[in-house]
Amino acid sequence: MIETRDLSKRYGDLVAVDGIRFSVQPGQVLGFLGPNGAGKSTTMKMLAGFLTPSAGSASICGYDVVESALAAKRLVGYLPEGAPSYGEMSVRGFLEFVADVRGLSGDARRRQLDDAIGRLSLQGVMHQSIDTLSKGFKRRVGLAQAILHDPKVLILDEPTDGLDPNQKHEVRALIQAMAKDKTIIVSTHILEEVHAVCNRAIIIARGKVLADDTPSALEARSRFHQAVSLTAENAAAVRDVLVRIGDVAAVEIDAQDQRLTAFPRKGKAIFASVVEALRANAIQVREIALEQGRLDEVFRQITTSAQEAA
């Protein structure tokens, strides 16, 4: 559905996107992760046909975004970062304008407008000018505009930026619902969002792809993967018990909340032996958890080592 081949973009001397290559299949919700300035927005703009690549190419459903720009654009809904332009227009005026640009007419036009307005709960602000809307509503108008023509491919640049927790939840639910019959790329710097909506994640930094995997496989790269964390009275004494377990590589105590974390030797599972050791030593735990791994730690590790290497 989406394919890039050595896609690159230069701004003068700056290489913002540096030979990115990936493809996205139907049903995938791809999370685009990276620090500020990594090249996420630039890549998305090229996919949406808003910027011309300096080198390499990209295609949407087989249509090259430069050579068959119109055909490619027809298949894409794009939510740019920030607020929609045309701030002086009313929400209704803007969405009707977009419907015209998208060539919608008759019943389909009415149906699609009603659908987008309903999905983004815009009924109460249809007559308000975009400039006077809250940040959250501006974002929702942008999303309505992106899904209006029911595109096969959605490219969403920070779709939940500026939304309150309830609105974030609604937008994530909307993305999940649309994922059934669309291919979606979502850029975000909110790692919990990757869990909530994505079944694949690409981490980019300095314009290069550094990791491309499922969110759980990325988490598995974390040193916290399969670690056991717990809280109990007298953390230091509990640590002395846990370090004696054969497959435990290290035990750390968090200085702030005295939480203990036991790290397994590579590839080992330690939960059962930790529980057994606690029982044998009559140690009462307040809570205990098996860690899946921490995406924020993996993200930091991958992106900072890229920075150091540069």
Under the rule (CB under 6 A), what is the footprint of ligand ADP?
A: 11, 14, 16, 34, 36-42
- Least separation in angstroms between residue 11's CB and ligand ADP is 3
Residue 285: strand, helix, or coil: strand
- Least separation in angstroms between residue 215's CB and ligand ADP is 19
Report the run of H or E that residue 21 belongs to, with start and end: strand 14-24
In this complex, which beta carbon is closest to ligand ADP, that of residue 15 or of residue 283? Answer: 15
In this complex, which beta carbon is closest to ligand ADP, that of residue 79 or of residue 245? Answer: 79
- Least separation in angstroms between residue 18's CB and ligand ADP is 10
Instruction: Please spell the DSSP secondary structure of 34-73, one letter per residue.
Output: --TTSSHHHHHHHHTTSS--SEEEEEETTEETTTTHHHHH
In this complex, which beta carbon is closest to ligand ADP, that of residue 204 or of residue 228? Answer: 204
Q: Is residue 157 within 8 Å of residue 44, measured between CB atoms? A: yes
For the chain, the first-to-last Cα distance in angstroms comes to 33
- Least separation in angstroms between residue 14's CB and ligand ADP is 6
Name the pairing type of β-strands 153-157 and 183-188.
parallel
| HSE (side-chain half, CA atoms, 13 Å) at 183 | 14
In this complex, which beta carbon is closest to ligand ADP, that of residue 8 or of residue 226? Answer: 8
In this complex, which beta carbon is closest to ligand ADP, that of residue 158 or of residue 291? Answer: 158
CA distance 127 to 149: 21
Strand partners, 59: 3, 64
- Least separation in angstroms between residue 66's CB and ligand ADP is 18
- Least separation in angstroms between residue 97's CB and ligand ADP is 25
In this complex, which beta carbon is closest to ligand ADP, that of residue 32 or of residue 94? Answer: 32
Q: What phi, psi does 173 have (nearest 5°)?
A: -65, -40
Q: Which residues contact 13 (CB under 8 A, 6 or more apart)?
A: none
